Amino acid sequence: MSKIKKGSRVTVCYTAKLSNGEVFKTVDEKSPLVFQIGNTEAPPTIEEAVKEMEPGQQVKVVVPPEEGYGARQKSLLQTIERESFSQDIDPKPGMILSLKVEKDGKKHQVPATVMEVDEHSITVDYNHPLAGHHLTYELKLIAVED
């Protein structure tokens, strides 16, 4: 058994799921993920699991929010007056909009999920859609290079 260590390059495929079982990403053997152990290219929980694996082995790993997309932040919810949206947009809950946000004097296009809509305002969420979720990865180690 060759021990996987810091600096080893590993090739994996995986299926990533939410806690309800919904698949949000699949990386198959045709186009696998290659990363170097110790370069923070993968969450620590995944790196630690991979270091104990052998090629061909499969494991299930749960990544907590703080290692994934972070905790949900209430400060990233914003209520916007409906009149600031153009007439041709009819926002509905769950819809993802690209909104202009100013930061450090520069305007950026940022995705926001519509949470609530009423006749006067629209509440949007700038959190990443996977923020706050425990993510389950079904990993398969394909190869290791030292």
DSSP string across 62-101: EE-GGGTT----GGGEEEEEGGGS-TT----TT-EEEEEE
Pairing between β-strand 9-17 and β-strand 33-36 as defined by DSSP bridges: antiparallel
Is 2 a domain residue?
no
Determine the structural domain holding residue 111 and report its residue range.
Answer: 74-125
Q: What is the pLDDT of residues 16-70, one digit of tens each?
A: 999 999 999 999 999 999 999 999 999 999 999 999 999 999 999 999 999 999 9
Q: Is 48 helix (H, G, I), strand (E, B) or coil?
A: helix
Is the domain of 46 the same as that of 13?
yes
Q: What is the pLDDT of residues 102-113, one digit of tens each?
A: 888 999 999 999
Is the domain of 34 the same as that of 60?
yes
Is the domain of 17 the same as that of 64?
yes
With b meaning 16 or more CB within 10 Å and e meaning fewer, what string describes 57-86? Answer: eeeebebeeebbbeebeeeebeebeeeeee
Instruction: Count the Cβ atoms, other than its own, within 10 Å of residue 18.
Output: 13
Is 63 a domain residue?
yes
Cα separation, 21 vs 18, in Å, equals 5
Q: Give me the CATH number covering residue 121.
A: 2.40.10.330
Is the domain of 58 the same as that of 12?
yes
Cα separation, 98 vs 100, in Å, equals 7
Is the domain of 80 the same as that of 60?
no
Q: How far is CA 35 from CA 99, 134, 145, in A?
A: 33, 22, 10
Give the H/E segment covering residue 135: strand 135-145
Is 107 a domain residue?
yes
For the chain, the domain total comes to: 2
pLDDT band at 2 (very low <50, low <70, confident <90, very high): low
Give me the mean pLDDT over the 116-141 stretch: 96
Q: Give me the CATH number covering residue 54.
A: 3.10.50.40
